[in-house]
Structure 1
Amino acid sequence: MNRSMVSHFVALLGVLFIALNLRGPFTSVAPLLAQIMETLGLNASKGGFVTALPLIALAIFSPVTPKLVNRVGIEPSLIIALFCIAFGIVIRSMGSEYMLYLGTIILGAGIAFGNVLLPSIVKKLFPNKISVITSIYVLVMGIGATFSASSMVPLSQLQLGDVDGWQIALLLNLIFPVTAVIYWWPKLLLGNSKSTQNTDYSVSIKPLLKSPTAWYVTLALGINSFTFYSLAGWLPRILTSFGYTDIQSGYIYGLLQFSTILPGLILIPILSKIRNHVILIIACSSGVTFSLIGLLVIPNLSIFWVVLFGLSNCSTFIVALSFIGLRTLNSEQATALSGMAQSFGYGLAAMGPSLIGYFYTVTNAWELPLFIITIFSGICTIFSALAARKNLIPLGCYLSIQTKAHRQ
């Protein structure tokens, strides 16, 4: 193995260590929610708020990331993100209702920073392999999320004095950020990579608001997130209305989560060869629409439709996420676009379950809510196809900021 291959492997390892932190600490709460609610005396509304709070935190803190990068640079921002994740995990595990909320917010801030920074890091380290590396790290995010979620209940059986098992289980999520900090901290101290402080370009979302391409990528990712969380948030209830038992609905919901892991494996060889992403992302996004129509028309095949939805939705997400690097000219621009897309996307995602729940309450049936999600998936296909066109965001978006920096 030559020096170049070793360097690329080391860089990839760093990306994957970050990816492990971006889903697992969130998905670890759901399996323990009943224990947490019982111990802390939370009602159903407060329990639901615990699950919605991460998405709200992501929507709020994603647009803050470019400002953080301007102040300290990409690599230091990454270390701050990892420390936020670690600190949030500790606070969340302290056994208090308010500490649970506070820890989740801090944790959400760290994950928001990481979500925004990772595409820009991929752009910086792997400018010629953006789609493939994006597919790999999304796969690792799914593996981390699955591992964390599946291990929480067994770990909650552990006891340590008066500390509840769920506290121990949540605290053990520290392995993710601690491992990543151990890997990245020496690189920061040694100064192997230059911070974005040394560049002529500032990072800002505001100039991108004038770019149609930036909006296409943002809407493709945002509406895709809306469709996923809108369906996933109510899927067990939808399935029981179709005649499935609670146990069957739970298993099918598990299949949805599992099916989101597979696209990473499937797309890696495809993305390494394909250059025109228009047909690929139309096929992926259309699969979401087709699966939702199938769920409406032939609910007896719900297992098939749910798995198809998970595969298609995550595939769309991977390809659309790679556009953050493919449609930008440098890592600073990628950071700004990532912040814009993910802030808007998670904002939509956070509203989705409530909106769908409202329409169910009004109609007392799932047909209209499912139809609305289907319409959004069709709109997502349009914006995904527009984002897939090879139109770069102009570097001119930064000219005024660059000039200002030089004057200073």
Structure 2
Amino acid sequence: MSTTLRTFIIAILGVLFLSLNLRAPFTSLAPVLAQIMEDLHLSSSSAGFLTALPLLSFALFSPLVTKISRRLGLEPSLLLALLLITSGIILRSWGMVTTLYLGTVLIGIGIAIGNVLLPVVVKINFPERIALITSLYIFTMGIGSTLSSSLMVHFSHLTLFNLTGWQLALIMNLLFPLLALSIWLPKLRNRASKVKQQQNTDVVFSMRDLLTSSVAWQVTLTLGLNSFTFYALAGWLPKILNNLGYSEIDAGYIYAFLQFSTMLPGILLLPILAKKNHQQLLIILCSSSVFVGLIGLLYLPDFAIFWVGLFGLGNCSTFIIALSFIGLRTSNGSQAASLSGMSQGIGYALATTGPSIVGKTYAQSGSWTIPILLIAVVAVICTCFSALATRDIKMTATSE
């Protein structure tokens, strides 16, 4: 095997193994949450706050990741992310309320670092295949999330080394960071100083560059509003379906289908994104499908599984293409890190407000019509920004 091919394979594996850690430790909590609540005597509000902690961590720490990366270097920062996730998984599985919350926060911070810096890794290692590799790693994230979530309950019925129940189930998530560390530890030793030196000589974006750039805001609002629509609907979908006449079992199946539908774009988009990077018509079609799915769910609820599937496909497809803009609209890894920090920090901040805004709107109106129409309006605005963001215009720094 040639050195070039070996380097390419290691780079791909590094991206994919890292991506396995950016959703699975987060989504694996829900299937065993009822067991945790019963064992640790958590109230519903405490459990709700626990599930919101990762999103809050994403929103708070994403803007800080660029400074961490500039100070430590890219590979050391990713190693830090994996170590935080590893430590968080261990603490979360310890069996105490304090370690449960602390571990969840550490997992959230680690995932935030990985979320921001993975597009940078793609930008540096695959500058000609940004959209393609982005689609591939989002698909891998979905695989990790699905595997972890689907196996949690089964693991909780086993006993291993005196561990059982939800503690054993959650500790099994260690497999993902250990796999990633097997790739990133050797890369750290071989390349850290070189990449850090390159980052320190890159032309970077100042905060003023980011806040005054129309391109930065187009990418940020595309990602942020897209995330808002997903979490706003997903957070209330089972209850919406119940009120539309579906049983709890059927609502659960449709909700599971939503999660499944978000996996498919990662593989369906591969042949399309492999051909070209400029996908204006594609992202408009995908983002507008989110609107169509919401309107269909509201006015033709008998076909809810179709509308929910269309929503999931359109939403995740928009996310994948928009995420690739972080690399496509910047000129180097440091710039990509800055734009990634801004777009994901603001994006997750918007996402965290979605469920609460929808819940309050429902409580005031007494109907799901206005909340769903509100999400649909946000989807239309997202479509407008996605059309603007897809233009082949790179950001510029004031020092350039």
TM tier relative to shorter chain: over 0.9
In 2: Cα distance, 1:249 partner to 1:203 partner: 48
Distance (whole Å) between structure 1 residues aligned to residue 182 and residue 271 of structure 2: 31
Query: What are the superposed Cα offsets for residues 336-384 of structure 1, whole Å, 9 maximum, x if unpaired?
Result: 1011000011111111101100001111110110000000000000000
- In the alignment, structure 1 residue 21 sits paired with structure 2 residue 25: no
| Contact 2:89–2:107 under 8 Å retained in 1 | yes
Q: Which residue of 2 aligns with 1:359?
A: 361
Which of 310, 313, 321 in structure 2 is aligned with 1:311?
313
Q: Distance in 1 between matches of 2:320 and 2:162?
A: 43
Counterparts of 1:397 and 1:91 in 2: how far apart (Å)? 44
Q: How does 1:5-404 map to 2 (within 5 A)?
A: 5-160=5-160, 163-191=163-191, 194-198=194-198, 199-201=200-202, 206=207, 207-394=209-396, 396-399=397-400
Q: Name the SS of the counterpart of 1:98 in structure 2.
A: helix
- How many angstroms apart in 2 are the aligned matches of 1:234 and 1:66? 34
Q: What is the alpha-carbon distance in structure 1 between the residues aligned to residue 273 and residue 162 of structure 2?
A: 51
Mean Cα displacement is larger for which, 155-164 or 180-189? Answer: 155-164
Cα contact 1:79–1:185 (8 A) shared by 2 = yes
Equivalent position SS for 2:245:
coil
TM-score (norm 2): 0.97
Contact 2:73 2:192 in 1 (8 A): no
Q: 1:195 deviation in Å?
A: 2.4
Contact 1:11 1:125 in 2 (8 A): yes
Note the alpha carbon deviations across 1:231-290, whole angstroms, 9 max, x for none: 000000000001000000000000000000100111000001134311110000011011
In structure 2, distance between residues paired with 1:210 and 1:60: 21
Residue 404 of structure 1 corresponds to which residue in structure 2?
Answer: none
Distance 1:41 1:132 in 2: 46
Tell me if structure 2 keeps the 8 A contact 1:70–1:197.
Answer: no
Q: Please tell me whether the aligned partners of residues 71 and 197 of structure 1 are also in contact (alpha carbons under 8 angstroms).
A: no
Structure 2: distance between partners of 1:68 and 1:250: 41
- Give the conservation status (yes or no) of the 8 Å contact 2:76–2:192: no
Q: Shift of the alpha carbon at 1:291? A: 0.6
Whether the 8 Å CA contact 2:80–2:110 is kept in 1: the answer is yes
Question: Alignment RMSD, CA only?
Answer: 1.4
The percentage of counterpart residues that share the same residue type is 54
> Which range is displaced more, 377-386 or 5-14?
5-14
Q: Is the 8 A contact 1:66 1:203 kept in 2?
A: no
Preserved contact between residue 70 and residue 202 of structure 1 (Cα < 8 Å):
no
Kept after mapping to 2: 8 A contact 1:288/1:309: yes
Matched residue pairs, number? 398
> Matches of 2:174 and 2:86 in 1, distance apart?
6
Name the TM-score, length of structure 1 as normaliser: 0.95
